[in-house]
Homo-oligomer: A and B are copies of this chain.
Amino acid sequence: MKPFHRLISFEEAKKIIMENTKEIERIEEVDILEAVERVLAIDIHATFNVPGFKRAAMDGYAVKAEDTFNASLTNPKKLKLVGKIFAGEKSDKRIGEGECMQIATGAALPQGSDAVVMVEDTERHGNYIAIHKPVYPGANVSQPDEDIKKGCKILGKGEILNPPKIGVLAALGIRKVKVYEKPKVEIFPTGKEVVELGKRLEEGKIYDINSYTLASLLKKAGSEARINKIVDDDKKDIEEAIEKAKNADYVIFSGGSSVGEKDILADVIEKKGKLLFHGIAVKPGKPTICGVIGNAIVLGMPGYPTSCLTNAYVLLLPSIKKMARLPFEIKRQEVTLAKSIASTIGRYQIYPVKVKEGKAYPAFKESGAITSMSMADGYIEIPANVEFIEEGSKVIVTYF
């Protein structure tokens, strides 16, 4: 067993991972119903005007505006009702002087008319409509390009498709849209102590936790994660896993990066690509390996569930979001620390806390315990040069 040669700082580790993270360039076409929260890969230019025709912006009567000038409640103008138009219909009839046509919101304005009088400002007398208020030309009328103008760039490459933007695509009749692919992550659980879910648990063994916490986190973060069969901490098996994952954007070994004799991932990375670091001055999560092989970032995560998952939150998540071209948005809140926390000088600490009534309670059990995190609401980060945070201090909680 050899100790780590040199632990790099948490900040340095994060910087190295981010510098080696490239934004996805691959594009795929998806149905707009599947496109919400995806990243647009092309500019969208309007190929026609929307709505495409002059339409009534109100329920009322299509008129020649000048026929209404001087109308008032005491001295209404009477116009002859010559028809009605519902939304989605188009009238062939032309409105002449002194005439009007009943029109519904959204319906195409009939020829000859240039304004709509709101129904509230009228009164019907048989085949005549009394107009109580004058309107100017264009009143209560939407122009053909009022929403979207033909030829204009209406959405831009890199925009995240939210519901209103999906609406713009629908308005232009676009059913399928080009978006950037989601990052592809291959997860390889490692270690003889790990047992696949569904198999019998023998003494000395534990179920594979890390593959599921990682895959859940990655799914939530907008990437595609695949859990592979358990790999032995063995040079040949690890080389085969890397070969199998060669089209991935990220390859994660969960476990098998401690200093034990069997830890050979670093050697394989050095042989096949470039080792970026091995060991971080962070607690928990020290035995973490990072390298690059081909186009993929290779991460060797600590085997302990809490170590693995806190590392995933602080190091993997920002990188995956950058890769996916998504903003790194996390829920943070300033709260008061309910109990003092001692930290290890020289190591950046990720500390799980439970938040109750605006106060953060320490929730850490030990780095092997998944319940350290499942019973917490989030974590606080303690810089390497801080060894004690006093009860009552203000701390920032990042929620899981």
Spell out A's residues near B (CB within 8 Å): 1, 3, 32-33, 35-37, 48, 50-53, 55, 57, 59, 86-90, 102, 104-108, 119-120, 142, 146-148, 154-155, 161-175, 191-194, 197-198, 201, 203-217, 219-220, 227, 258-262, 303-305, 309, 312, 329, 331, 365-366, 368-371, 373-374, 376, 400
A205 touches B166 (CB 8 A): no
Neighbouring B residues of A198 by C-beta, 8 Å: 173, 175
Do most interface residues of chain A lie in helix, strand or loop, or is the interface mixed? loop
B370 touches A147 (CB 8 A): yes
- Chain copies in the assembly? 2
B204 touches A88 (CB 8 A): yes
A332 to chain B, nearest CB (A): 12
B171 touches A206 (CB 8 A): yes
Neighbouring B residues of A203 by C-beta, 8 Å: 52-53, 90, 108
Complex CA gap A398/B370 in Å reads 35
CB < 8 Å neighbour of A371 from B48, B89, B147? B147
A258 touches B212 (CB 8 A): no
A249 to chain B, nearest CB (A): 19
B371 touches A194 (CB 8 A): no
A32 touches B212 (CB 8 A): yes
Complex CA gap A154/B372 in Å reads 12
Complex CA gap A37/B399 in Å reads 13
Closest to A329 in B: B331
Neighbouring B residues of A146 by C-beta, 8 Å: 365-366, 368-369
With A147-B368, A369-B146 in contact, do A173 and B193 touch (Cβ < 8 Å)?
Answer: no
Complex CA gap A107/B193 in Å reads 7
B212 touches A170 (CB 8 A): yes
Q: List 26 A-B contacts (CB under 8 A).
A: A1-B59, A1-B102, A32-B216, A35-B216, A36-B220, A52-B201, A52-B203, A53-B203, A86-B193, A86-B262, A88-B205, A89-B193, A89-B204, A106-B191, A106-B304, A107-B193, A108-B204, A147-B369, A147-B370, A154-B371, A154-B374, A166-B212, A170-B370, A173-B198, A174-B197, A329-B331
